[in-house]
Structure 1
Amino acid sequence: MAPEYRLYSGRRLVLPLLALLAVLLQVTSECDRTFVSRVGGPQNGTFTAPSFLNPEGHSRQCIYTFLAGPHQRVELIFTSFSLRGTPPECIHEYMDVYAEVQQPEASELINSPFGGRYCGPIPPRRRISLYKALALGFYTDRNATTPDLFTGRYAFINDTEYEVGTPVPNTPCSYTVHASSKRQGVIVSPTYPGTYPKDLTCTYQFLGSPTQRVRLEFRDFDLFFGGAHCPFDYVKVYDGRDNGSAVIGTYCGQQRNLVIYSSEASLFVSFFTIQRTANTQNRGFKGIFEFSESFVKLDFIGKNDGEHIRGSECDQQILSKKKSSGYVFSPNYPFPYLPKIVCRYFIYGMQDSQHLERVRLEFMKFKIPKGGERGDCTDGYLKVYLKGQEATDSYDKFDHELCGDDDSNPKVVVSDGPRLVMVFSSGEVQGQGFKAKYTFETDYKIPGTAAPDGSCIFTYRSSSRKKGEFNSPRYPSNYPSETNCTYLFLGTPNEQVTLVFDHFKVRADSANATFGSYGGTCQEDWLEMYNMYRDGTEKLIGRYCGTTAPGPVESNRGAIGVKILLHSDQEGVFSGFKARYTFEIAKSIFGDCGSNVSSLEHGEIRSPNFPLNYDSPAKGLASKTCNWYINVRPKYKILLNFEVFAVEGDPANRGCPAAVVRLWHRANEPPVELCGEKAPTEKWQYMSDGSSVRLSFISADKSVGAQGFRAVWTEVKEGPDCDQFKCEKSSYCIADTLRCNKVANCGADDRSDELNCLVEAPVDSFMLMGVVLCVAGALVLGICIWCHRKRRRRRRHLARLHRGGSSAAGSSHSRQLGNSRRQHVCDELGERFASVDSV
């Protein structure tokens, strides 16, 4: 595709030129026009399209030639334009422009650079001839033309403005400017403000005296923009005599407020345009230059590590040499500075994967007079930028605006990041200026009170702040290698500090990925936590690495605080950690729900609400803590067996950031941290090496709850001799009283203490109730039957007595009455159950 395009582009140039030559050989005065500048004649005028008939529709070519006089050039402006066709084809009607004609003869147009072909309603932009001649070639195959096809005006202008200095021989637009002959003047592109030519190179060399500097100000700048690196048309400025000097800058596109100063007495400018077939119509540039001894002397920059920023009047850049320091001064210090100057100071600390610095600026002397009746900084001032505002050109958003004397301004300012920028404007009233000391300090990006010596030590006191955040250096970016940072959390005597980790990722190549990254498995980078005591002793809480976040930590009752150490080696690094701290009134030694257990042979410990889920801390509190202290007789140990365990967390993948169980069962060793969920087939049991154990359960404010745990502890006798019960598998020696107590006191996989026990048959309560009811019913039924039979016998006996005679009636009646008075309870029951037949 590219070769075809180049072939087509070449044809577009060659064919019209051949056609133009053919027409020129048969030139007719019918439509050609020539406009010549003559002494005393008109120096401007108008032109229009030719008017003729062409009934056969033959191709017609008309040449308009404009010839300027000595020290003149031609300026051409189209005021209307309406030719057939659509760019870039322009087949039936078009206008060719030649602005680089060296010889006025029409036959020489074929050798002149082609300035572009135009058709449609958009006219060519203003044109100014590079030499004394300019030509237009109008082509049409229209049957008839009228003057309104295009109109314009021309002028013969003075070319003095384009002679910037002494012309360089055999070049169309290169000049040398000597300060001895021209201290100030105008610099313009060769055909400004007309469209500049293609395939052109112009140079401008400015040479001053040894005490001078050169100032170049572009007031209009319009070049074709091909990208940030200006690969096509550009202006390149060199800080010296020629193009072998240091480059100040390369410019293209549209520029505003472009002012350039030389560092010394010379400046070299190169203007370059490429050969192209596309019609670009940028106008070039126009500016002014000046040689002067009054520009700022740059010796005040070189007193320390400052480096003049090429192209500026007095801007300087200071780069850190790793924790370096030095001084900055106002221009001409300690003598009064010059009026109406602006100098910028760019003080940059180190910022890479290994280093991050901030800038500390301390003013030693300061005297910039206040201006105006209000005594404010409306005249001279020093603006300080601490947050890198210059990166977005936000110079209106300064952090400090300083003027006056030493007492009315801050003594020290510190950057928020690696960059500090100052802008000094002298105004109209002179003053002594300022002297300041800069120091590059390592910036760890850690909130807290930093150590005065700049080391990575940060202190958090409850007297200053009750709660807050802390993090690894540069979080969330990676912490640096070969770094040791210390975090000190110090409370009052009646306070405890709680630490909760929200993010944790510390490099651990050799850590155990199955059981989490704790203790000795952390060899490369790690974080350690300690309880600190008043006697200077410290007790390790734990060492952590990988993604195994520490569980919530609450300082011990009696400790003055907690210390954290972060260590990194020489190898790779990760993002580190982010955590929170809270100082609260000290709790009981048992925390919120613990206890002291002693004088027992075994027991059971349960998490709060077990078997229901444990709850979060009360609103406003950082944690909820339960501490159990188990103590047995001397020469006995403690076996602790977790039968059920479900605490939120995952030791292998994310640690125990929300809730944790810690077990202190070995003297002089940090506790074991537990979280996650125990499978029914897993065995989680621990044997103490002494007669005491501490078990702690802590849930943070971000916990969501889980079932918790149930643990059984048992007193185990030390030594090989056992005068009590010896477990079969574990060989533990436990009390005889623990046999057949329905608790597995021998351990997770040994139930020998519960074997060969008398097993009481389980009683069915419903069956027992049925039996009791049946027996009671049978008993009542038996009594009723017995009473009923006795009553029948009594009645039969009375009947026999009645039949025995009337003589005995009285006595029998009296006996009956007596018997009736002594009626047994069975008589009453018999009456109630009279309907019950005997069995």
Structure 2
Amino acid sequence: MEKSTNLSTCENVMTCPIRPIGSGNEHCPYDWLAVYDGRDEHSPLIGKFCGLGKFPFSIIGTSQYMYVEFVTSPAGPLLNTGFHFNVGNWPGHVETAGIKHGVCDWLLSSDSLKDSSASEGIFLSIAHWYPPNTSCSYHIKGHVGEIVRLYFPSFRINRIESPILKYEGDCGESLTIYDSDHADPARIIKTFCDTFSRPMEKVDFVSTSPSLYVQFDSKTGSYSGSSLYYWAHYDFFNNTRFGDPVPNTLCDEVMYAWKHPGGRLRSPLNSLIFKRTGGSDVRCQYKFVTDRRLYARAIIEVNSVSFKELPYNSNACTRCHEERVDKLVIWEERDKYQNNLACFCDNIPRAVRVISSADQMNLEMIVQGQHAITSYFKNPNPLFEATYEFAHGPLCGPITLGPSPDGELVFPYKKALAMVSGPMAPPEHHYRREKCIWELKVAAQRDLWLNLEKARFADRSCDSAKIEVYLAGRLEPRFVVCPENISLARDLPILTTAELGATGADQEPLPVLIQYTGDGQPGRNIFRLVWTELFHLPRNPDGSLAASLLQDGGCDFRCPGDTEVCIPKHLLCNGIPNCPNVTHTSTLSQLTRHIEWNLEQLGLLHHAGDYQQLVLHDESPEICLKRDLSELPYGKLSLIALGLCLMFALLFAILRRMCRSSSLHQGRHHLQEDY
């Protein structure tokens, strides 16, 4: 735009100075050109201009309308030629998904972005005129649990070329990003100034809360837009956590039993973590921590694993722990070493349950950094899904049982009853459903027989109480005992060495897992589960007994029936039936075939004729009575009797001596009185 509207009133027009273009009433009292931002003179005044020369910059309005007014003094110009200007189009704003307040304050919410069906919101720098001391804000607001990401695909910082008001200091125009919902000086993430800042393109600015606040300030104003030219994108990420976040980590969490006793778990909902590692591996660790006064175990059940297959990746999921693949690792610390419990790097056909052996367990998701962004950034599908809970409260007692020739498991644990039923115990409605998990260790080359000797359940439904017995490597329980089948529980089959999964002749098999699930209120459910380790009678290829292998002293009594098992001598007549109850499946000849051998081992062979047709168990009165009599320590009894006789004789002698001494003393006293 060229102007020639002179302010001079000098008498000699040949010597009148040429006035440069100025603006404002103080500079333009006579001839001026007024520009309004709108349809008429009632619209906001952009500026009043006069002088001679070429206008150094363009004027950009806020809409498609602009009103220009030309005014001259009553005398009129003599040499001036008026003005000349061009009018053209300028790209307007993109549609911003938000609510505008005032001239340039915006509320950009996640709801507005969702309504627009866009994945990212956009706002631009001011590209039109604005007065000095302008302040524009953009409050980017998400839902509770969300965080905000802001980045600039395009950003340029220029010098202020078209100021309305001259400013000689630094930072005449600035753009500030706050990690807050308002302009909080203590929460500044970054400030860009026109005089000394460098633009930062494609760099993520991420909030720690649901709000991010962006503020543009201009001390100078502008006729043609901001000196800070930027194209800003923003989006929202769900940053919901399942436990307590670990400070100064990308995605680590801790599940404390007293705060998070159980729930669901999945890969981070915030897929932004896959973009923030700078090419290094993404590691998210979930730690499960309990207190033995509350629970002794943590349980994780992995329901699904869905890592992406990469065609160019030469590492296959064959050795999960060693290969550099995306994987899910479950481990616990034992004796200051990492004890790996499970590893998943491929889809699983069914849920897998992992139980800790102590009061802590860790689950760690590891994603290879070289493809984390391309594979998982803004991927809504979970990489894994799992549930967790804490189990084995004080009522359950010790975690590990055995190995021992016999033993018992009693619920509830008597020593813990005072903790849950005393004056400081919680009210009844606070009792939760109890889950106990015991590990029963069995000695090498021993069969195992379980016997539910005593059980009392408050309800007759299996939902109120259930006892499950799991063998190593089996997903389904070997036995399930509940109130509905309590009669069958007293005749459980023997678990052989092969079933227990022993890998070697001298190695213990993996423990048998016994799980109780039921009411946690003391007294409602009570049971006593007894176990016995049995020695399986070895056989020759022709079926005869291999007596040469019975040299370890663990086979002193052969159980009746066709079970081919025996027990050591010290388990006889101990008040607990240690031989399996198999009389209903065995013939009389099978039940009585070991009588003579058993009596010979017990030193009762001279009674064999009396018991030829009797079924002798390890608790049979016929055996226990004779055995007790035959094992009486007659020699010791004789010595005890002799010792007692000597004590009585000595006591009698002492008493007699005391009596004689008293009689002599009285006689001497009478003689003294006579004299």
Q: Report the TM-score range of the alignment, normalised by the length of the smaller protein.
A: 0.3 to 0.5
Kindly name which structure, 1 or 2, has the bigger radius of gyration based on alpha carbons.
1
TM-score in terms of structure 2 length: 0.39
Q: Which has the higher strand share?
A: 1
TM-score in terms of structure 1 length: 0.33
Q: Which has the higher helix share?
A: 2
